[in-house]
Amino acid sequence: MNEKYKVLNIEPSDIAKYYVYRASVDGDLITPLKMQKLVYFAYGAHLARKKEKLFKESIEAWPNGPVVPTLYRDLKKYGSSPIDSDFARGASEQELLENFSNGVRETLDLVYENYITKSAFELVSLTHQQKAWSEARKGLKATDKSNKPLNDSLIMQDFQAGHG
């Protein structure tokens, strides 16, 4: 059962834009698959740390791990190529940071620093070990499409237990 958590109403794409900025400064590249996992880890980490949802949208249990559908649509044009800095155009880093409280920025930075060096497939593997994703995928074959949402209480448990 999904408990009620405070929802911050941050746009998933704003989190992604912040990560694109950070990566461009650091000389790193982020593919859409990797970005989905980074945004999911930010969501889960913040839920575990502050009992707050970064955004209202459900995270779905797709074959390659958790996916935020609106972010998928925003990033689809990149395919498996790295997201270029044009994605973040129109929003300065300062403007994005103004959307994030100190607690949110702390979570985003923590997730970035812990996971940016991992490959997209390492991150997929981590999500496949989590109860929230595996419960939502129960009864499905590995490649079956699904838009079943992950349970926030299970996401929080996974991250509190250090599985993400």
pLDDT by residue (tens digit) across 6-51?
Answer: 999 999 999 999 999 999 989 999 999 999 999 999 999 999 999 9
User: Cβ-count burial of 161 within 10 angstroms (0-12 exposed, 13-18 middle, 19+ buried)?
Assistant: exposed
In a domain, 57, yes or no: yes
Find, among 55, 46, 23, the residue nearest to 164 by Cα. 46
HSE of 164, CA atoms in CB hemisphere, 13 A: 32
Q: For residue 164, what pLDDT is reported?
A: 66
| CA 6 and chain centroid, separation | 18
In a domain, 96, yes or no: yes
Task: Kindly state the helix (H) or strand (E) to which residue 53 belongs, with its residue range.
Answer: strand 52-53
In a domain, 128, yes or no: yes
Unique residue bearing structure tokens 């925003």: 74
Q: For residue 163, what pLDDT is reported?
A: 64
For 63, residues 6+ apart whose C-beta sits below 8 A from its C-beta are: 142, 143, 144, 145, 146
Q: Which domain covers residue 109, as residue numbers?
A: 6-158
Task: Kindly state the helix (H) or strand (E) to which residue 99 belongs, with its residue range.
Answer: none
**Would you say 48 and 3 are in contact if contact means Cβ atoms under 8 Å apart?**
no
Q: What tens digit of pLDDT does each residue of 67-105 get?
A: 999 999 999 999 999 999 889 877 777 788 888 988 999
In a domain, 163, yes or no: no
The 8-class DSSP code of residue 79 comes to: T
| Domain tally, the chain | 1
Is the pLDDT reported for residue 147 higher than 90?
yes
Average pLDDT over residues 51-65: 97
In a domain, 21, yes or no: yes
Q: For residue 1, what pLDDT is reported?
A: 45
Find, among 157, 130, 161, the residue nearest to 65 by Cα. 130
In a domain, 164, yes or no: no
